[in-house]
Amino acid sequence: MKRFLALAVLFCLLLTGCGAQPANVGSDTAQVADDYYIDLSDLGMKLTIYLRIGADGTFLFSSTPDFTVNKSDGTLQKVGDEYLMVYTSVNGEAKSISEGLNSKFIAAADGSLDFTVCERIYYGTATATTTSAEYPDAKLIAFPIPADYTAPSGESDFTAGTYTGTSGTAQFTATFFEDNTYLLLRTDSDSAAAETGRYGVSTTQLALTPTGENRVSCDVLSSTELSVRVDNGGAEREAISMQKTDEGKLWKTFSASDASMTLYTDGSFRVTTGGFAETGVLVPDTAEGTYKIYPDHPTSGARGLSFVASVPVGTLSLSGGRWTLSEFRVRTSDNLSREKITLTEQ
């Protein structure tokens, strides 16, 4: 019995504490322990992220150089000439080894870390690819943070409002409201299509989430210019430059018995009925033959697509190139009740 126990102890020692590991795994990680910054601009993401590798073989990705924000973390092992990162949490959600979330890098002679030996890193709600087909010379490289490092400003130049751009014969007008909703209008000749959804901004990143669709990444180029990926009828979205304007231009005028309406290129409208005026946003779709109105808040005057959405969809028809808006529901007084009218383009 004693001989059996002695053999068992020897077997465990040979397997390094009963945890059989390949050579070099978990060793020599201290030589890459440092704080790093990663500029993703060349890869098409105007964003700088930060990586801390501890001498104990742990790592942390953060959005700040003081590493107070945890975007993802895990453990580090060395396997041959490569370092394997195994994620234990991403965006605050625990991850298991069975999920297979890992990244790899090699240490360069200049102290930088080259991540091109793997496909991607996991960072918060997003992933960053280590190379780009669109930018073939770009690589995901982490550089040690120097003592005189100054982090890029976390503030954004973005301001809500109306932006316009063109592609071919199509005119695009994007209006970003203060309630974090947006309206993107595509107009071409007499046709009009609208995209609505929510948006978010982080420094130079503008994220659109169209209703019922996946998030679309766009860029804030300056305080007056955006790069927006629009749906122009193709298989892929097209990135176009959009410049900020003060307001939409007069687009169409409508009339009915004792009523008139002006519609602007940013989707805003003003309708007057019996001396009472109301303003808001109109979302048209000539292909579907429908429209929907979002009146401004009746007391605060706030505008957006989430304030009031109780007005039913109406019918939009074309005749001789002119629009007719059937069952347009208008208010004729401070009373919130509405009446149906038909507005015809003049």
Residue with tokens 């496909």: 119
pLDDT at 111: 96
pLDDT at 156: 80
Torsion (CA) 103, 219, 282, 284 in degrees, nearest 10: -70
Question: pLDDT averaged over the chain?
Answer: 87
Could you state, in order of their start, the residue ranges of all structural domains in the chain?
17-144, 161-245, 250-345
Query: What Å distances lie between residue 346 and 21, 203, 261, 325, CA to CA?
Result: 79, 44, 10, 12
Q: Which CATH architecture has domain 250-345?
A: Beta Barrel (2.40)
pLDDT at 12: 37
pLDDT digits (tens, 9 = 90+) for 150-165: 988 767 889 999 999 9
Q: How confident is the model at residue 310 (pLDDT cuts 50, 70, 90)?
A: low
Give residue 43's region: left, alpha or beta (phi > 0; psi -120 to 50). Answer: alpha
The token duo for 4 is 């059996």
Report the C-alpha gap between 309 and 328 in whole angstroms.
Answer: 14
Q: What is the pTM of this model?
A: 0.61
How many Cα neighbours within 13 Å face the side chain of 218?
A: 29
According to CATH, the topology of domain 161-245 is Lipocalin (2.40.128)
Q: Which CATH class is domain 17-144?
A: mainly beta
Work out the percent of the chain whose per-residue pLDDT is above 90.
62
Average pLDDT over residues 227-246: 91
Average pLDDT over residues 156-177: 93
